[in-house]
A and B are shown apart, each in its own frame.
Chain A
């Protein structure tokens, strides 16, 4: 552990021109120290500020000069005090000299570690490089920088330079800026210095690498283009998500007097048989089972080992293809990088030749990779060229995993071009949208805001901030999201207000249509079947309940009641879970009508009976049962005559209830003429 400890000196510019961004500097530096306190407790950090009125450093005492550089803290193991100190940086009043400050920081590192700890010594310079540097006693400034860089190299020191220039209209000479930039560049040429230019407070928070993860190769070996042509490559992870810290579960069981209590909770799993829940099954009696349809297929680990896919460790070229064949959205995972074996000039040249050829031709390489021996699967991925524009960085490839056939779901979506014209945008809308895109351009003239490489994770920032707050006051509430971080999650209010006219125009074009549609769509939302989204759970649940009521009422109709015979009849007719229901419905309805006619008192039920008869007629036509109805009608009319219920016959005639004709239902044997004349024909008879 201690072997890997890093020695870091933060060299911070606190001069007057830096005051605006100092809150962010405080945040990013304290976050860096906080993370060190959690993930690499043994790292040592020193703190130097420059641009202060006072001077306090060993070099001044020893050799003089180096004014306005203050060592706030010597190199020491990280602790809470350092975080505190970083959160209250002094505001300086002098334009400091960053070269002086770098020398002081370097001196501290040399004095502390000497030649030891090679490669783990780092300086971190944070400045706007807007103040003039002093001329050295002898030689040029460039010579001085070269000497310093030489020293840094000799001691295996690295430097991160973050140059913050939020506003361009700094009240300083352009010449000074140019000169300083030139000097900083000289650093990167001569030593392991990385310079990042930052133009917003938000990017500043993302510019400093707050957690060092030592990169580990996931593959070292041959990139086989064929069995004869191989290139030695190393593969690293290029992106890998920094996860939210895994918190431990807290146990309050330990007595408060126990100072060494860990308060941790262990999770214990017990496997119990279903037949006897009290019996625990020992590990050797357990066997893995995989689902295959309804079956669970047991496979012992020996079998699994014997049958499983065991590819050889290798990286093989499958071929090249046009980059347009590989859509961006098929990239499956975090990204790896293929670099040629360091120090192997021929491999570097080979990778370079291939990368540049691919880039020129807009091609990509398809490769099959098995990173480790014994790995259970092979991946197929795409190599895209990463041609370096820095002279000292060799060319390389990015590697992205591609999906297998099983991983793709080919859903079909309606085509946009086939939609009716009412759904297509009009010219005005198109224009408004065009303007919106132009106005909300986040990368005007090459100055990209919210670059992923410089954008901090707001959740992690907030977590560490909250952690610090809580360490001082256990019950403190979660602090609100920092304003600087809000720029990541919400559109920049400045950008919005600058382009208010465009946005208003955009609103006008789209809003007119919005209101009715929005309501409609929200209603539709409720009608949707539940599809698994939690947010929808509530709405659809309610609808389901309603559905269920309807559903049961429909299903449960098994006989025709008195209350609403027509509805019951229709429900029964539409029951499709058996053929018998139609016949039963017709039969029931016939009985009902007979009852009504028979039991009527001065025609009080005639109306209802007529309704039922109409429903029955309709039902019989739909269900192709004209004979049933026709016979029934004959029967009914005859019945009326016999029982001296002529009034019902008249009632029917007046409402033009006829037999079902051939025209309405092909199965009927009654012609249209006959059907119409049915009642009429009967009437005289009835009068007889």
Chain B
């Protein structure tokens, strides 16, 4: 592999590059295969705002949402949207009851574009007119819409080789027995051909995933047909859960979670003791999402520019070829390091992840954090690993966390491995079971800020019990009961992408994005909350604080600001003594000393930096001469 020599240099600016970036090499090709049969429209579930939402709407809104996520996070993935059990047909094979949805300037299986997202958003309105719903498998006809759909999806995925891309079909349906209304030979025949079709697809490296929509009172029976289609048996079958959602939101949540394929960062060897080590995979479950990298364009042609980097010797101006050595000035000498030496310095540990011991959870302080954590899960089907993880897991859950040394090549670090219990909710798995790797700081990374402003003689003021009580009352009042860490969308990012989408579609009006992170003013204005706040304020500040604080603010101006004020006063005074305009006209400004010039500048609130000439110019500009 080609190693980028700059990787060694880049360490400082971009720690653990690989943590934040995922490679494009594992791009995904995805066909959303949506059942559009009448049943999808007739089955509903209640949503938050009391409206009934059909299963079709659930599927469509989930796809719309995931397209948005895709275009932001994984825009190299290619997607196709395909409906089956439709009235109209539109596909290359010209098969009945299958409609491939697409927009101009885009292949059927291609990267999502702004236009696709935009038009797909309004699919519900145009659906009945342009595509229409019609159940394709009817007694007496030999049409098999599911077979056709799989056939079309597979044909779409013919593009690209299985080596470089993961190919998936995501099948949304609420019909557990697609051939239920036909009987006898025809049914057997259709079932078999469809299964064969699915198997063929799977043999070609396409994975088919089913997202069954159901209602609690009407279970999705996998064994009727789909277990065979997916090749599920035994425990796998029992583990496969249909999406039982009473509410629209729950269903959407579940769908969202299942639609994304998990990607591991890397596989690590976790050395427990000298003799035993296990394989674990690491996953990035929490990483900051950024607005993406900037590509420089030529503003005339809007074509991307090529960046050329060259090294130039600061002393001679000569071009330096090849990879230069690095140096650090020390004792007035340049101490040289080769990249090999630097990586040797950083190689301080023998294993990738090495267990050092265990500590009670109380030793893990809130300030022991530097960057987002990484999730550790035993690599598949290794009994030993999972066994071990189990054992340790139960122990750790109680009170302990494991301390290990993570010997990465750029940032070797002490890490805490904190066990996480599986947490389930109505919308499925909220927290997966496993361990979270938390990167610990070193002594040099922790700053003793608390001690900074301590008055050694005086006791620090402490709240009295009454004050604490009034604070408790307030805390109880303003309680966010169901707070979850990911309930807010990033306002800056939302705005950024909304603007991008608008620009990409040449829309005139810029969208207004709501900032969800602002406090709930209404809630805060509730009488109970206001009262609790008032009481707390009274208890810690005493009466008449507001007036006091104003006087404090004015009386307690710092020394620096006093000084600044004095300077300004003096400047105004001094500057008034001189007839600046007259001097400027005569060109005598340069006769004045710099401090005198500065009086004028300070008095008029201008910058005082630069050489004398700059100052004079600035004065002249200000005087309008």
**Given A334-B370, A448-B363, A521-B279, A292-B497 contact (CB < 8 Å):** yes
Question: Which residue of the partner chain, among B15, B264, B500, contacts A292 with CB atoms under 8 Å?
Answer: B500
| Main secondary structure on A side of the interface with B | mixed
B431 at the interface (CB under 8 A from A): yes
**Given A253-B320, A261-B315, A215-B447 contact (CB < 8 Å):** yes
A192 close to B456 (CB less than 8 A): yes
Question: Which residue of the partner chain, among B301, B384, B442, B458, contacts A457 with CB atoms under 8 Å?
Answer: B442
Question: Which residue of the partner chain, among A296, A402, A423, A524, contacts B387 with CB atoms under 8 Å?
Answer: A423
B463 at the interface (CB under 8 A from A): yes
B328 close to A467 (CB less than 8 A): yes
A12 at the interface (CB under 8 A from B): no
Q: Cβ of B310: which chain A residues have Cβ within 8 Å of it?
A: 267-268, 270
CB-nearest residue of chain B relative to A296?
Answer: B295
**Given A273-B303, A285-B298, A404-B486, A329-B420 contact (CB < 8 Å):** yes
Q: Cβ of B422: which chain A residues have Cβ within 8 Å of it?
A: 415-417
Interface residues of A in 170-198 (CB under 8 A from B): 189-192, 194
Q: Chain B contact residues (Cβ within 8 angstroms of A): what range?
A: 35 or more
- Cβ of B349 to closest chain A Cβ, rounded Å: 4
A388 at the interface (CB under 8 A from B): yes
Q: Cβ of B273: which chain A residues have Cβ within 8 Å of it?
A: 496, 503, 506-507
Mask: chain B, 292-332; 1 = CB below 8 Å from A; 0 = not: 11111111111111111111111110101000111111110
Q: Cβ of B447: which chain A residues have Cβ within 8 Å of it?
A: 213, 215, 236-240
Mask: chain B, 466-492; 1 = CB below 8 Å from A; 0 = not: 011111101110111101111111111
Q: Cβ of B166: which chain A residues have Cβ within 8 Å of it?
A: 529
Q: Cβ of A413: which chain B residues have Cβ within 8 Å of it?
A: 262, 377, 429, 432-434
Q: Cβ of B452: which chain A residues have Cβ within 8 Å of it?
A: 215, 236, 342
How far, in angstroms, from A215 to B451 measured CA to CA in the complex?
A: 11
Mask: chain A, 394-417; 1 = CB below 8 Å from B; 0 = not: 111010101111111111111111
B334 close to A263 (CB less than 8 A): yes
Interface residues of B in 421-448 (CB under 8 A from A): 422, 428-429, 431-434, 436, 438, 440-448
Interface residues of A in 652-683 (CB under 8 A from B): 666-667
A471 close to B449 (CB less than 8 A): no
Question: Which residue of the partner chain, among A316, A363, A460, contacts B475 with CB atoms under 8 Å?
Answer: A363
| Main secondary structure on B side of the interface with A | mixed
Q: Cβ of B443: which chain A residues have Cβ within 8 Å of it?
A: 206-207, 209, 452-457
A295 close to B504 (CB less than 8 A): yes
Question: Which residue of the partner chain, among A317, A408, A489, contacts B405 with CB atoms under 8 Å?
Answer: A489
Q: Cβ of B394: which chain A residues have Cβ within 8 Å of it?
A: 430
**Given A289-B297, A530-B25, A258-B387 contact (CB < 8 Å):** no
B328 close to A489 (CB less than 8 A): no
A325 at the interface (CB under 8 A from B): yes
A249 close to B519 (CB less than 8 A): no
A307 close to B510 (CB less than 8 A): yes
B451 close to A194 (CB less than 8 A): yes
A398 close to B366 (CB less than 8 A): yes
How far, in angstroms, from A471 to B328 measured CA to CA in the complex?
A: 10
Interface residues of A in 153-168 (CB under 8 A from B): 153
A666 close to B189 (CB less than 8 A): yes
A286 close to B299 (CB less than 8 A): yes
**Given A424-B387, A450-B414, A521-B279, A37-B331 contact (CB < 8 Å):** yes
B356 close to A450 (CB less than 8 A): yes
B344 close to A525 (CB less than 8 A): no
How far, in angstroms, from A326 to B318 measured CA to CA in the complex?
A: 56
A293 at the interface (CB under 8 A from B): yes
- Cβ of B18 to closest chain A Cβ, rounded Å: 8
Question: Chain A interface: which of B242-250, B531-539, B617-625?
Answer: B531-539
A3 at the interface (CB under 8 A from B): no
B275 close to A356 (CB less than 8 A): no
Interface residues of B in 265-288 (CB under 8 A from A): 265-267, 273, 275-276, 279, 283-288
How far, in angstroms, from A525 to B267 measured CA to CA in the complex?
A: 9
Q: Cβ of B470: which chain A residues have Cβ within 8 Å of it?
A: 353
Q: Cβ of A1: which chain B residues have Cβ within 8 Å of it?
A: none
- Cβ of B347 to closest chain A Cβ, rounded Å: 9
B221 at the interface (CB under 8 A from A): no
Question: Chain A interface: which of B44-52, B108-116, B574-582?
Answer: B108-116
B468 close to A357 (CB less than 8 A): yes
A442 close to B357 (CB less than 8 A): yes
**Given A291-B293, A442-B357, A350-B540 contact (CB < 8 Å):** yes
**Given A271-B296, A507-B273, A412-B257 contact (CB < 8 Å):** yes
A532 close to B519 (CB less than 8 A): no
B584 at the interface (CB under 8 A from A): no
B559 at the interface (CB under 8 A from A): no
Question: Chain A interface: which of B82-90, B129-137, B200-208, B223-231?
Answer: B200-208
B26 at the interface (CB under 8 A from A): yes
CB-nearest residue of chain B relative to A348?
Answer: B461
A410 close to B391 (CB less than 8 A): no
A307 close to B414 (CB less than 8 A): no
- Cβ of A624 to closest chain B Cβ, rounded Å: 7
Question: Chain B interface: which of A52-60, A64-72, A127-135, A544-552?
Answer: A544-552
A329 close to B436 (CB less than 8 A): yes
A329 close to B286 (CB less than 8 A): yes
B418 close to A346 (CB less than 8 A): no
Q: Cβ of B550: which chain A residues have Cβ within 8 Å of it?
A: none
Question: Chain A interface: which of B157-165, B589-597, B605-613?
Answer: B157-165
B459 close to A229 (CB less than 8 A): no
**Given A37-B331, A411-B260, A335-B366 contact (CB < 8 Å):** yes
- Cβ of B449 to closest chain A Cβ, rounded Å: 4
Interface residues of A in 366-384 (CB under 8 A from B): 366, 368, 376-378, 380, 384
A576 close to B200 (CB less than 8 A): yes
Question: Which residue of the partner chain, among A229, A271, A298, contacts B302 with CB atoms under 8 Å?
Answer: A298
A368 close to B355 (CB less than 8 A): no
B483 close to A321 (CB less than 8 A): yes
- Cβ of B157 to closest chain A Cβ, rounded Å: 11
A433 at the interface (CB under 8 A from B): yes
How far, in angstroms, from A236 to B367 measured CA to CA in the complex?
A: 12
Question: Chain A interface: which of B120-128, B175-183, B335-343, B560-568?
Answer: B335-343
B583 at the interface (CB under 8 A from A): no
Question: Chain B interface: which of A89-97, A274-282, A642-650?
Answer: A274-282
Mask: chain A, 417-445; 1 = CB below 8 Å from B; 0 = not: 11110111100011011100100111100
Question: Which residue of the partner chain, among B292, B386, B456, B510, contacts A191 with CB atoms under 8 Å?
Answer: B456
Interface residues of A in 448-499 (CB under 8 A from B): 448-460, 462-463, 466-467, 470-471, 474, 478, 481, 485, 488-492, 495-496
- Cβ of A348 to closest chain B Cβ, rounded Å: 5
A408 close to B286 (CB less than 8 A): yes
How far, in angstroms, from A456 to B442 measured CA to CA in the complex?
A: 6
A688 at the interface (CB under 8 A from B): no
How far, in angstroms, from A535 to B267 measured CA to CA in the complex?
A: 8
**Given A258-B315, A450-B403, A533-B265, A321-B480 contact (CB < 8 Å):** yes
Q: Cβ of A511: which chain B residues have Cβ within 8 Å of it?
A: 275-276
Q: Cβ of A416: which chain B residues have Cβ within 8 Å of it?
A: 386, 389-390, 393, 422, 433
CB-nearest residue of chain B relative to A458?
Answer: B348
How far, in angstroms, from A273 to B304 measured CA to CA in the complex?
A: 7
Question: Which residue of the partner chain, among B201, B289, B308, contacts A270 with CB atoms under 8 Å?
Answer: B308
A38 close to B330 (CB less than 8 A): yes
A330 at the interface (CB under 8 A from B): yes
B313 close to A251 (CB less than 8 A): yes
Q: Which of A213, A273, A396 has the most CB of B within 10 A?
A: A273
How far, in angstroms, from A513 to B8 measured CA to CA in the complex?
A: 41
Interface residues of B in 501-553 (CB under 8 A from A): 501, 503-504, 510, 513, 515, 517-520, 523-524, 529-530, 533-534, 536-537, 539-542, 545, 552
- Cβ of A232 to closest chain B Cβ, rounded Å: 8
Lowest 4 CB-CB distances: which A-B pairs, in order?
A433-B391, A411-B262, A353-B463, A357-B471
| Sample of 9 more A-B contacts, CB < 8 Å, known A328-B436, A490-B405 | A272-B306, A353-B468, A356-B468, A388-B450, A415-B422, A452-B414, A481-B348, A532-B25, A576-B154
